[in-house]
Structure 1
Amino acid sequence: MSDDLAKYLTDHMAGSVAALELLERLRAANENGPIAATAARLIDEIHGEREVLDGLAEKAGATMTLPRKAASWVAEKAVQLKLLYDDPTEGCLRLLESFEALSLGVEGKRLLWRALRANSAHRPELVGPDYDGLIALAESQRERLETHRLAAAEEALASPPDGS
């Protein structure tokens, strides 16, 4: 078992934890609206993808170590602190930056699935998942996030603070 494969898989597992926490915050802050609906759907999809990733990690002998879990937790808290510092009112800038962070994470996940698909011919532990379907799902997720990101950008960046 490649130690690099284990690290790669567990890094993405940690990233999914951070994404889920950010999505839970978005869902709670935007109750009953389109953002909450998108967040809820993404949460469900990420849980499903996480099952695939956990299965691959198990087949590869990779486990989430305490230092990786801690690093993931610290990174997610750092993102939340940065968002809070930039926009303490939970306004449009925080929303914009939240959607950008999620979009970058989804792109990283799309690249994960592509890398695993490319190596599955040489690594028996990577055989099994529908990588094409997972890649298509990530592309769909990015499109859905982009709709909200652009709306938040329009509101956050539309006019200078003094209204001129």
Structure 2
Amino acid sequence: MSREESPGHERLQLYLNDHLAGSFAAMELIDNLISGHPQDRFGKFFRDLRNEIHADQEKLRNLIQKVGAEESAVRKAGAWLAEKFGRAKLGDADDSAELLEALEGLALGITGKRLLWRSLATISANFPELQGTNFNVLEERAQDQFSRVEDLRMDMTREAFQN
């Protein structure tokens, strides 16, 4: 059995693809938020966040290639469908309560990404394909993204539930 066929290597490929699918769902959600807030106080925030998440997504795609995997179309399609159902629930991203729920979804996704980078840092010594990537910097960037989303989420919480 070659290294690429080992159970651990196959699990790594699936793990990376699962996170890539999640990043596609996040990008869909952010694109929806950008279109709902092209010129208001949230537009720049979501455009900047989208650029950062796109850079992280490209890093993840590069890692998928390095470990010899192909991007899973099925997983990406599933993420796309999940985001579409979520969008139907949100409906009006101008409403502070709807925006609050969208931000909660983003916060969860960013937390998952932070944990991805931490996990990959932990196993990188066992996978030469992962070596040379500074996962600590990626984890710090995810933490910064989370903090900014969380700050806005708290603002929306206060706005949504004011008396």
TM-score (norm 2): 0.90
Distance 1:89 1:105 in 2: 18
List aligned pairs for 1:42-53, cutoff 5 A: 42-53=49-60
Structure 1 runs of 4+ with >3 Å offset:
none
**1:102 is matched with which residue?**
106
Q: Residues of 2 paired with 1:110 and 1:75: CA distance?
A: 21
Q: Which is worse superposed, 15-24 or 65-74?
A: 65-74
Query: Among residues 85, 91, 96, which one is paired with 1:78 in the alignment?
Result: 85
Identify which range, 110-119 or 125-134, moves more after superposition: 125-134
Contact 2:114 2:142 in 1 (8 A): yes
1:22 is matched by which residue type in structure 2?
L
State the 1:89 CA deviation: 7.2
Q: How much identity, in percent, do the aligned residues show?
A: 39
Q: 1:127 aligns with which of 126, 131, 134?
A: 131
What's the offset of the Cα at 1:66?
Answer: 2.5
Greater mean alpha carbon deviation, residues 103-112 or residues 18-27: 18-27
Counterparts of 1:15 and 1:40 in 2: how far apart (Å)? 18
Q: Which amino acid aligns with 2:98?
A: R
Answer yes or no: is the 8 Å Cα contact 2:20–2:76 preserved in 1: no
TM-score (norm 1): 0.89
How far off is 1:51 after superposition?
Answer: 1.6
Q: Which amino acid aligns with 1:149?
A: R
Q: What pairs up with 1:2-151 in 2 under 5 angstroms?
A: 2-84=9-91, 88=92, 90-151=94-155
Report if the CA contact (8 A) 1:99-1:149 is conserved. Answer: yes
Over residues 2-35 of structure 1, what are the superposed CA-to-partner deviations in whole Å (9 max), with x where a residue is unaligned? 2211111011111111111111111221222331
CA shift at 1:56, angstroms?
A: 0.6
> What is the aligned-residue RMSD (CA, Å)?
1.4
Instruction: Note the residue ranges of structure 2 that are not aligned, 5 or more in a row.
Output: none
Give the count of matched residue pairs.
156
2: CA distance between counterparts of 1:79 and 1:90? 15
In the alignment, the residues of structure 1 paired with residue 42 and residue 150 of structure 2 have an alpha-carbon distance, to the nearest angstrom, of 12
Matched AA of 1:57? I
**Aligned-partner SS, 1:33:** coil
| Structure 2: distance between partners of 1:92 and 1:142 | 19
For structure 1, which runs of at least 5 residues remain unmatched after alignment?
A: 160-164
